[in-house]
């Protein structure tokens, strides 16, 4: 019993470190990808090809002064970035990286992730309110409306996968997927996959849906008043959120840890490649598309994505009952 | 010596009571909503202990993730600087206290006559075997099909009603200028 608990804690520490390393280099990857897409070099100064840049950034953020706005609401202001990061990190616990390798392989894995992603919205909203600044507040309000709207689309887009796999457990979904005719659900669930990809961008507040932080009109949105490491917590939360969403996409639509052939000694390779591809997709979209207007975001969410996802659910139901049976 | 489940139950129960009490007592409505959020999480914990994992997830997604955020929107509209300085009790608060204490006494008196009901088909083992989500689905779409559909229709009515209320007269405007004028609250000229 005690040894089991210690082993789990060790596993958590290992996964946490790996994820944090990924977050650090996701920022580097982002700057490089966007740099090259805009015919620039990206970070080049710190280390060879700027490879030590994320570490320099981390040290800089860590040693910056912790500024606290005088009129801010203290407990809420302190709690908000922590809620953001904790919600994102907790989701990692239920993600299976390869067969049998998840910190906690629970039966309601997918619902758990949806629950945690809705909690991450709280961090943003509270940060906006607690800062007592109009830019932050507007950012927070935009975030809450956006996250609520796109959460519905995201939940509905995964329903098709749940119906096909007959389970909410993420490992079971991957196993059911491996036995399906195409091997990945992205082909039969192409509508669901599309809705998921768009909702994924909106849920993590990435361009073209980055209205909550929207530099050109809101300074930095909800994290305007945050400095130093408290700002870094938001930043970490956002990138962990991206990794979580990319993992969910990989597991639900791209076949999880399964691949064209088995790789001995390194079973995580396919999972990693697929997650990296989806993270690249985030940056690709960011470098390509301009930001949406706020009413366009709402109209897209409610009038296009939710009906599409609902249609996908009905279609999947019909197919499952009459065709694939 | 407490077993682990007992320890957790006592923790959740005390935390729920404490957080609910605090939520009523703090002056700042946003803090109130935050305390209710924490309370919802502890309730989800109790559901988990009862093997109702689906209910626990739905509790967090629907109540913590959606309903409470809408509450937060409403609270944001309140002027908090004034709210904090308001008098906390209205004149008739003694009557309220008497009624509350009476209800508490009734509840406590009723608690003594609690008896465990007969066991149904869904014992803990049966639920664990096919998982709670599936058990709930089977029950809901077989035995409770009609109530489920009726609840769905009622919710649909509420949605349509909400849309009808929000839409108002705005469909009278045909051009963008007219629509803007309506948004400003001006009457349209014939």
The pLDDT tens digits for A32-69 are 888 888 888 888 888 788 888 888 888 888 888 887 77
- Comparing CB atoms, the residue among B34, B65, B72 nearest residue A119 is B65
Tell me the average pLDDT of chain A: 84
Closest-CA residue of A relative to B128 is: A107
Residue B112 in any domain: the answer is: no
Overall average pLDDT of the A193-218 stretch = 79
Smallest CA–CA separation between A133 and chain B, in Å?
13
User: Sorting pLDDT into bands at 50, 70 and 90, what band is A212?
Assistant: low
What whole-number distance in Å separates Cα of residue A313 and Cα of residue A319? 10
A144 touches B at CB < 8 Å: yes
Residue B118 in any domain: the answer is: no
Question: What is the longest distance spanned by two Cα atoms in chain A?
Answer: 64
Supply the pLDDT for residue B151: 93
Hey, of B65, B72, B74, B170, which one would you mutate to test binding to chain A, going by the most A CBs within 10 A of its CB? Answer: B65
Nearest in space to A65 (alpha carbons), one of A229, A222, A232: A229
What whole-number distance in Å separates Cα of residue A56 and Cα of residue A63? 11
Q: Quick check: helix, strand or coil at residue A98?
A: strand
Token representation of residue A325: 């049976």
Write phi, then psi, for A101 (nearest 5 degrees): -110, 85
Residue B169 in any domain: the answer is: no
Residue A51 in any domain: the answer is: no
Smallest CA–CA separation between A72 and chain B, in Å?
13
Residue B5 in any domain: the answer is: yes
Residue A1 in any domain: the answer is: no
Supply the pLDDT for residue A314: 92
- Comparing CB atoms, the residue among A79, A125, A148 nearest residue B66 is A148
Nearest in space to A113 (alpha carbons), one of A199, A188, A177, A176: A199
CATH code of the domain in which B38 resides? 1.20.120.1200
Range of the domain at B51: 1-86
What whole-number distance in Å separates Cα of residue A142 and Cα of residue B73? 11
ipTM of this predicted complex? Answer: 0.80
Token representation of residue B91: 């004149």
The sign one gets for the Cα dihedral B154, B160, B164, B166 is positive
Smallest CA–CA separation between A48 and chain B, in Å?
44
What whole-number distance in Å separates Cα of residue B19 and Cα of residue B22? 5
Contact residues, B window 32-91, toward A, CB-based 8 Å cutoff: 34, 37, 53-54, 56-58, 60-61, 64-66, 69-70, 72-73, 76
* In the predicted structure, residue A265 carries a pLDDT above the cut 70: yes
What percent of chain B has a predicted confidence (pLDDT) above 70?
86
Residue A69's region, left for phi above 0, alpha for psi from -120 to 50, else beta, is beta
Identify which has the larger pLDDT, A221 or B55. B55
Write phi, then psi, for A81 (nearest 5 degrees): -65, -30
Residue A256's region, left for phi above 0, alpha for psi from -120 to 50, else beta, is left
Supply the pLDDT for residue B190: 47
**C-beta atoms of B34 and A79 within 8 A:** yes
**C-beta atoms of A73 and B60 within 8 A:** no
Q: What is the pLDDT of residues A81-105, one digit of tens each?
A: 888 889 889 988 888 888 777 888 8
The sign one gets for the Cα dihedral A278, A284, A288, A289 is positive
What are A35's strand-pairing partners? none
Q: What is the pLDDT of residues A225-254, one digit of tens each?
A: 787 788 888 888 889 989 999 999 998 888
Residue A35 in any domain: the answer is: no
Which residues of chain B does A125 touch, with a Cβ-Cβ cutoff of 8 Å? 69, 72
Under a CB-based contact definition with an 8 Å cutoff, are residues A312 and A224 in contact?
no
Residue A280 in any domain: the answer is: yes
The C-alpha R_g of chain B, in whole angstroms, comes to 24
Residue B141 in any domain: the answer is: no
Q: What is the pLDDT of residues B40-55, one digit of tens each?
A: 989 988 988 888 888 8
Q: What is the pLDDT of residues A188-205, one digit of tens each?
A: 888 889 999 999 888 887
**C-beta atoms of B69 and A155 within 8 A:** no
Under a CB-based contact definition with an 8 Å cutoff, are residues A96 and A270 in contact?
no
Supply the pLDDT for residue B89: 72
DSSP A101: B
Supply the pLDDT for residue A100: 77
DSSP B119: P
The count of domains in chain B is 1
The C-alpha R_g of chain A, in whole angstroms, comes to 20
Is the N-terminal amide bond of A147 cis, ω within 30° of 0? no
Residue B124 in any domain: the answer is: no
The sign one gets for the Cα dihedral A167, A172, A176, A177 is positive
Range of the domain at A314: 63-322
The contacts of residue A292 (CB under 8 Å, 6+ apart) are: A208, A209, A211, A300
Q: What is the pLDDT of residues B137-167, one digit of tens each?
A: 888 888 899 999 999 999 999 989 988 887 7
User: Sorting pLDDT into bands at 50, 70 and 90, what band is A214?
Assistant: low
What whole-number distance in Å separates Cα of residue A204 and Cα of residue A200? 6
**C-beta atoms of B57 and A79 within 8 A:** no
Residue B81 in any domain: the answer is: yes
A119 touches B at CB < 8 Å: yes
Nearest in space to A90 (alpha carbons), one of A229, A200, A237: A237
Supply the pLDDT for residue A190: 87
Nearest in space to A271 (alpha carbons), one of A257, A285, A289: A257
The count of domains in chain A is 1
Residue A23 in any domain: the answer is: no
**C-beta atoms of A115 and B66 within 8 A:** no
Instruction: Extract the residue ranges of chain B whose pLDDT is less than 50.
Output: 190
What are A98's strand-pairing partners? A101
């Amino acid at each position: 019993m005690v040894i089991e608990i210690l082993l789990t804690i060790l596993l958590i520490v290992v996964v946490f470190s790996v994820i944090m390393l990924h977050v650090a280099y996701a920022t580097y990857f982002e700057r490089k990808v966007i740099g090259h897409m805009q015919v620039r070099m990206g970070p080049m100064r710190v280390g060879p090809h700027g490879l030590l840049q994320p570490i320099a950034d981390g040290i800089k953020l860590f040693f910056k002064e912790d500024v606290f706005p005088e009129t801010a609401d203290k407990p809420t202001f302190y709690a908000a970035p922590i809620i953001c990061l904790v919600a994102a990190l907790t989701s990692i616990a239920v993600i299976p990286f390869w067969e049998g390798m998840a910190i906690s392989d629970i039966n309601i894995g997918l619902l758990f992730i949806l629950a945690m992603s809705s909690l991450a919205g709280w961090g943003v909203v509270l940060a906006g309110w607690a800062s007592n600044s109009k830019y932050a507040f507007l950012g927070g309000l935009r975030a809450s409306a956006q996250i609520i709207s796109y959460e519905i689309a995201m939940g509905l887009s995964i329903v098709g996968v749940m119906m096909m796999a007959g389970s909410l457990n993420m490992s079971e979904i991957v196993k059911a997927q491996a036995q399906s005719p195409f091997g990945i659900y992205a082909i039969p669930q192409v509508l669901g996959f599309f809705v998921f990809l768009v909702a994924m961008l909106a849920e993590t507040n990435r361009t073209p849906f980055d209205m909550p932080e929207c530099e050109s009109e809101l300074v930095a949105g909800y994290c305007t008043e945050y400095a130093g490491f408290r700002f870094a917590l938001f930043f970490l939360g956002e990138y962990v959120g991206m990794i979580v969403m990319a993992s969910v996409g990989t597991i639900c639509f791209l076949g999880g840890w399964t691949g064209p052939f088995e790789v001995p000694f390194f079973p995580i390779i396919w999972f990693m490649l697929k997650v990296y591809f989806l993270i690249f997709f985030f940056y690709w979209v960011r470098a390509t598309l301009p930001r949406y207007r706020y009413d366009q975001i709402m109209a897209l969410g409610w009038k296009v994505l939710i009906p599409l996802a609902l249609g996908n659910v009905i279609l999947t139901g019909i197919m499952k009952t009459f065709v694939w049976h | 010596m407490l077993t682990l489940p007992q320890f957790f139950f006592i923790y959740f129960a005390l935390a729920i009571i404490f957080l609910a009490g605090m939520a009523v007592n703090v002056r700042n409505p946003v803090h109130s909503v935050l305390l209710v959020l924490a309370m919802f999480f502890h309730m989800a914990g109790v559901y988990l202990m009862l093997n109702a994992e689906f209910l626990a997830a739905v509790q967090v997604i629907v109540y913590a993730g959606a309903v409470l955020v809408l509450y937060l929107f409403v609270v944001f509209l309140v002027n908090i600087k004034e709210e904090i300085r308001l008098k906390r009790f209205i004149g008739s608060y003694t009557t309220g206290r008497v009624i509350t204490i009476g209800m508490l006494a009734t509840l406590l008196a009723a608690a003594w006559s609690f008896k465990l009901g007969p066991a149904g088909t869904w014992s803990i083992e049966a639920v664990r075997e096919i998982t709670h989500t599936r058990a709930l689905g089977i029950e809901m779409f077989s035995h409770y099909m009609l109530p489920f559909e009726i609840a769905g229709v009622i919710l649909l009515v509420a949605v349509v009603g909400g849309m009808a209320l929000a839409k108002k007269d705005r469909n009278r405007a045909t051009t963008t200028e007219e629509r803007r004028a309506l948004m400003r609250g001006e009457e349209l000229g014939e």
